[in-house]
Amino acid sequence: MIRLLLLALTRFLVGGQGLWIGCAPVARQRIYFANHTSHLDTILMWAALPPALRARAHPVAAADYWGTGVLRRHVALRVLNAVLIDRKGEQRDAGNPLAPLFATLADGDSLILFPEGTRGAERIPGPFKSGLYHLAREYPDVELVPVYLDNLRQALPKGSLLPVPISCAVRFGEPLALGPDEDKADFLTRARDAVIALS
């Protein structure tokens, strides 16, 4: 019930039409990676997926934010079906911080990822952190789909509590793959450029 209400409210306030420019909404295991400017990004991108794809797509969320507080944790884990990761390094001695993402991909599900690691204030994404590269290297058969979230920084800017009704769009681009000899820096630049090209 909360899930349906959240989806309806998001669509009413900001639209969030999914525009499949470079690929089709088919049942393939994917990592959808996008720019990140607002707390609405996760919900809007998740809402833009057809129901069958949404059911198998897990947003990646920061445990230090979404894992704290009863309400936030409930929304992240029970409503959005998110995977929480430790981005601050507080539990790195317990193993690889990407382990929850590896486990999700090993189960055959998809991920929704924001490779910048935090929200930015600019129209184009900042530099990507290395997580996307490591996921692509470990799971080469998973399709990597760049996504651009348009207008979200105006709909709910960083620091705002209430969204402003404004039309937003989710653009899904052409999948890319990690080249056999491609190094991390080149791949992350190419992945970022693929998101920027959709802007």
CATH code where residue 138 lies: 3.40.1130.10
The model's pTM is 0.84
**pLDDT band, very low/low/confident/very high, at 92 (cuts 50, 70, 90):** very low
**pLDDT at position 155:** 45
**pLDDT band, very low/low/confident/very high, at 145 (cuts 50, 70, 90):** very high
Compute the C-alpha angle 145/180/109, nearest 5°. Answer: 35
Q: Count how many domains the chain has.
A: 1
Cross-strand pairs, 30 = 143
How far from chain centre, in Å, is Cα 171? 13
Find the domain containing 132 and state its range. 2-197
How far from chain centre, in Å, is Cα 82? 10
Cα separation, 145 vs 140, in Å, equals 13
Q: pLDDT by residue (tens digit) across 154-190?
A: 545 555 555 544 567 889 999 999 999 999 999 999 9
Cross-strand pairs, 19 = 171
**pLDDT at position 6:** 61
**pLDDT at position 167:** 63
Cα separation, 86 vs 156, in Å, equals 24
Contact by Cβ (8 Å): 108, 29: yes
Q: pLDDT by residue (tens digit) across 24-79?
A: 999 999 999 999 877 677 888 888 899 999 999 999 988 887 778 888 888 778 88
Q: Is 187 helix (H, G, I), strand (E, B) or coil?
A: helix
**CB-based burial of residue 102 (10 Å sphere; 0-12 exposed, 13-18 middle, 19+ buried)?**
middle
Cα separation, 156 vs 69, in Å, equals 21
Mean pLDDT for the chain overall = 83
**β-pairing verdict for 143-150 and 110-113:** unpaired
